[in-house]
Amino acid sequence: MKNMYVYIMTNNINGTLYIGVTNNLIRRVYEHKNKIIKGFTSRYNIDKLVYYEIYDNEIIAIEREKELKKWERNWKKDLIESKNPKWIDLYDYLIK
């Protein structure tokens, strides 16, 4: 079974947040960074991966994405900072 990823990206520390779900995190973040798919992330220059979770069940991952999207902004910031307090772009760690 393939892993699923729920992820949060931003354009700056405490900037605009984007929450998504994918089965290939490296490819999907690459697409965001290089503005391959036009939309919200390319419009707002969202290109930094600051948080992600791994699931082995697609349905649970999609439910988690929907849940996070409903959260208040401060809750999302607290979640990011619980694992990544400096809002470091995690993409570089994934491709090593």
pLDDT, tens digit, 9 for 90 and up, residues 7-46:
999 999 989 999 999 999 999 999 999 999 899 999 999 9
Enumerate the H helices of 1-96 as residue ranges: 25-33, 40-43, 58-70, 73-83, 91-94
Taking residue 6's Cβ as centre, other Cβ atoms within 10 Å add up to: 23
* Domains of the chain, earliest start first: 4-94 (3.40.1440.10)
Reduced to 3 states (helix: H, G, I; strand: E, B; else coil), residue 38 is coil
Distance CA 89, CA 43 (A): 19
Model's pTM, two decimal places?
0.96
Residues 6+ apart with CB under 8 A from 45: 11
